[in-house]
Structure formats: structure tokens, C-alpha cells
Amino acid sequence: MIMHKVTTLNQFIIERQAEIPGATGEFSRLLHHIGIAAKKVHREVNKAGLVDILGKVGSINVQGEDQQKLDVYADKTFMDELRASGECCGVATEENQDIVVFEEGLSKDGKYIICMDPLDGSSNIDVNVSVGTIFSIYKRISPIGEPLVMDDFFQPGTEQVAAGYVIYGSSTMLVYTSGNGVNGFTLDTSIGEFCLSHPNMQTPESGKIYSINEGNYVNFPVGVKKFIKYCQEKDEATKRPYTSRYIGSLVADFHRNMLKGGVFLYPQTSSHPTGKLRLLYECNPMAFIAEQSGGLATDGERRIMEIKPEALHQRVPLYTGSRNMVQKVQEFLTFFNNI
């Protein structure tokens, strides 16, 4: 019987810790607790049809969206684990209007703040479609021992210490970067550990998939409409037409495109003139992962990670994925915006 060496998430984090400037055991503990929370959410997602955790809570979150029971569960689970880590002093999430500050215990002196979407795509859970968690980690800039300030959270994406996502699908995977490439870990339920399964993940420079909700076509900018028509045209040199694939879960769409090559588009529309996805806890972490895997992320004019946040739940357009495809979208947007 051949025994294969298995690298767990915790082993990998400790081995790679030296790559993070100034990091010590605190960062490792923080990611360890994120992994624990992900396992707990995985358990609930996978038995959702058997227990009373499907459907709506009956309340509306800060985004004006119906809260799902799993939204509330995931938010509380991650919040509890981050507080227990003792390394995170504050959190911004989709489910809370304001930042949550940990003012008791070891966490009040934590070095890190987290921006996260605890359960992206949760409306899909009732129909057994993949959902995910997105997280972004920063070092606080306010002095330890003093109250957190909003500027701790209003750092541009270029200041991220790490970012990642968990996708709860046919298997559960945790994918993260700390600025030295992207690595993916699949949950081995037989031992209860995330194990390295996708080392050094790379986004193909080009792909054949475009991901966009075409039901909103009439409300898209002209450049986006022209790009969609470009994707649908037959051209053997560029291997067109491309394939349209849209799940409606950012994590799932992004994950597929990173593995297979493609572009994800969520432009501004007449009903959402500044875009719909949130900069702090959706776009920035995904942009960090995209760039670290060889892809790009832009709002159509600017690099996502260079945008200075001005509000906790700030929305921006997002175009991300394979480098050549994102650049082609940018060409269409630039040309038709200047006419």
C-alpha cells in the first residue's frame, strides 16, 4: 500500500508563515479559527435539507436583502471563532450595519481586522447550488490598546495581509493567498481536516467562459453589451463563440473561471449605477486572489485593489478572471465610454 504525504491547512500555514512580513503565531491562529468556522458551516450546509435551517429568517439585512437562516448561522459562527482566536479585534460583515468591535478578552488587543461575507449566494441553498464564504484580512493601523477607527477598515485592497474564500459544493474547499500565490485545500471529512489539494493555483491567461446575468442586458453599459456580442460571434482564430455560464454565486462563478479560464462580469446598471457587489468584503478579496493566480480585477476603469474605500458597504462594478479576457472587456468599456 502506497502512503501519500498529506499536508493539512494548519501545517501549510505554519510552514509558509515566514512569507508574511512581521507575522508570528498570531496569523496562524487566526487562519486556524477561520478553518474551524468553515468546517462548522460545511456541516450545516450539508445537512440543510434535513434540519430546520433552510429558508428566510423573516428579517432584512443592511443590504435590503431577505436574511436566510444560514446567513445568520454563518455570521454568528465566524464571529464566534474570530473572537475566540484572540487575534482579531474587529469585523465588518455583510450582515451588520456597523463594524463589530471585540472589546473583551484577548481580542481587544488583536493585530488584525476582518472584512467578510459569511455566506455568499445563500439564496441558492434551497436549490442545492454551491455557496461560499469570502474573507479579507488586514493589520489594524490604529495603536493596540486604543479603540478601533473606521480607517482600520477603509484601507485599500493593496494592504490586505491575506484573503480567501470557502466554497461549499460537491466538496468543500478553502482557497487563500497571503501574497505569495494561491493554494486550495479540500476538506477531508474522514479526518476533519482541510488538506492541500490545489497547490499554486493559476488562472489561464485566456478562457472560453463568460459569466454574467444576461437577464439585465438592457440595463448594461454599451461597452458590456458589445463585449457580450463579441463573445457570441463565431471566430476560429480566437476560438469563439464563448460559453455563457452563470451560477449567481460569486464564489462558485469565480472558482470555476479560475480553474478553467473565463471572465466574471458584474457591471453597473440603471438600478445600481455604482455596481452591486461590495468592495470591502467581496471585490477586494477576490481581486487579491485573482491577481495572485495570474488574473486581473478591475471596476472597468481602475484596478480594484487601488480603490480607496469611502463607506463600509460601498458597491463597485467588478470584472475579474483571465488576464486577456479582462483586458478585452476593458478595451470595449474604454472605447464606448469615450464615444
Whether residue 217 is annotated as binding a ligand: the answer is no
End-to-end CA gap in the chain = 67
- The predicted-structure confidence for 258-293, as pLDDT tens digits, reads as follows 999 999 999 999 889 999 999 999 999 999 999 999
Taking residues 240-263, what's their average pLDDT? 96
Whether residue 122 is annotated as binding a ligand: the answer is yes
- The predicted-structure confidence for 97-149, as pLDDT tens digits, reads as follows 999 999 876 667 899 999 999 999 877 777 777 899 999 999 999 998 888 99
Whether residue 183 is annotated as binding a ligand: the answer is no
Pair 172, 47: CB distance under 8 Å: no
Residue with cell 493555483: 201
> How far is residue 91's CA from residue 308's CA, in Å, rounded to a whole number?
18
Cut 0.85: pTM above it = yes
pLDDT class for 18, splitting at 50, 70, 90?
A: low
Taking residues 55-71, what's their average pLDDT? 58
Q: pLDDT: is 284 or 338 the higher one?
A: 284
Question: Which CATH number is 9-198 given?
Answer: 3.30.540.10
> How far is residue 203's CA from residue 300's CA, in Å, rounded to a whole number?
20
Read off the amino acid at residue 145.
G
pLDDT for 20 = 60
Whether residue 276 is annotated as binding a ligand: the answer is yes
Whether residue 119 is annotated as binding a ligand: the answer is yes
pLDDT for 126 = 72
pLDDT for 169 = 85
Name the segment(s) of the chain with CATH classification 3.30.540.10: 9-198
Q: pLDDT: is 95 or 283 the higher one?
A: 283
pLDDT over 70, % of the chain: 89
> How far is residue 263's CA from residue 32's CA, in Å, rounded to a whole number?
31
Whether residue 106 is annotated as binding a ligand: the answer is no
Whether residue 216 is annotated as binding a ligand: the answer is no
Pair 326, 258: CB distance under 8 Å: no
Name the segment(s) of the chain with CATH classification 3.40.190.80: 209-337
Taking residues 49-62, what's their average pLDDT? 51
Q: Which CATH architecture has domain 209-337?
A: 3-Layer(aba) Sandwich (3.40)
pLDDT for 22 = 57
Taking residues 78-93, what's their average pLDDT? 94
pLDDT for 109 = 85
Pair 277, 329: CB distance under 8 Å: no
Whether residue 246 is annotated as binding a ligand: the answer is yes
